[in-house]
Amino acid sequence: QTRKKSNNAWLTKREDGTKKDPAKVPDSKLLRGNIVAILNKITPQNFKDLSVQILQLGIDNMDKLEVAVEIIFEKAVLEPLYSQTYANLCKIMGAIKFPEEQNAKVSPFRKTLLNRCQKEFFREKSDGDKLNKKMDELQARTDLAENEKQAQMEELLFQSSKFKRRMLGNINFIGELFNLGMLSSKIILSQCIGNLLAKRAQGKLDEEVVECLAKLFSTVGLKLENECKDELKKRAFEKSFGDFKELGSNSNYAYRIRFMIQDVVELRDNNWVPRRIVSGPQRIDGIHREHAKEEQEELQKMEAAVASSCRESKSRADLPDKRGAPRYSRFSAPYSRNETPQRFGYSICTMQDSDDGY
């Protein structure tokens, strides 16, 4: 039953004390709030229903489309565990077309999304160079007090961690888009991998760049190598991966980076099958199946341990003791019910055979 709207409903107030009228909220701001509210609730369990809700929000012009792309992109970059979910959402929203662009080969959503990824990719390179330059200049300054210099360095390190997180998130999201067929292998090889390896000839690559290469190869390696069938693409892929592999022999990198490179090399040697599956967002029924499987495996281990213990006890009982008599255990009775043992030189009488009743 639909609720009736009160004539004196409570409304939030602005800073000047006047009340906000929901009917006068700009469409872009209202759309932003609706998309954020839906994405905050999205999981693999309710993905289908919530993706339909986003398609029903009325994204019918470029302004609204750019708002939707910006929100989804930021969520995918800052929440890398859900990047596959957001990539699947982008795949569905790629069907959005405007009346004036019905015959376009590339959907406006896909074009806007790829432009946003490209802009972030090249902006990260320039921002990283500027940040490294600032840190080097701060290290060389001698006119600052030690505590002030340390405070500025901590701020730069904080910015560096944010930059690194966004850079890895963007690379991961680009890889997931490629796995869904929204990017071509040419873009991955020339634009992404090629640009990341471009500074290799100038000297040592930054550790953040090497991490991005490792993340990208581990995400797209299987599909990318399968698509590089012709001689030109295959040669480009082998050269790129060979240059990345050589970075692992550079002793200037930390052991963490060198082991990361070695992990990617071993991953390719194993036909891109990981040794352990990284757990991500799952459906509720999938979690229940895994839990039941773990319980079943634990029960089988316990039963095997009990059976092994019983076999060991039985085998020990069958071995003779020092006097040559067989050992007895709780699994084998030492004598039958009607047999009277004479082992200790006297008979043991039962209560039925005793004259005294004992």
User: What digits encode the pLDDT tens for the residues 117-166?
Assistant: 999 988 877 777 788 888 888 888 888 788 888 888 888 888 888 888 99
pTM as predicted: 0.70
Secondary structure of residue 207 in the 3-state scheme: helix
Query: Crossing angle, helix 83-93 and helix 62-78, to 10 degrees?
Result: 160
Q: Report which of 117, 95, 90 is spatially closest to residue 35, judged by C-alpha positions.
A: 90
> What pLDDT is attached to residue 281?
63
Helices (H), the chain: 27-39, 47-55, 62-78, 83-93, 108-140, 146-179, 185-186, 194-196, 207-227, 231-246, 255-269, 284-318
> What pLDDT is attached to residue 141?
82
Distance, in Å, from the CA atom of 102 to the CA atom of 131, rounded to the nearest integer, reads 44
Average pLDDT value for the chain: 80
Question: 280 falls in which pLDDT band (50, 70, 90)?
Answer: low
Q: Per mean pLDDT, which of 94-103, 110-119, 285-294 is the most reliable? A: 110-119
What is the arithmetic mean of pLDDT over 81-98?
A: 89
Question: 200 falls in which pLDDT band (50, 70, 90)?
Answer: confident
pLDDT value at 182 more than 50: yes
> What pLDDT is attached to residue 178?
94
| Per-residue pLDDT tens digits for 213-260 | 999 999 999 999 999 888 888 999 999 999 999 988 888 888 999 999
> What pLDDT is attached to residue 18?
54
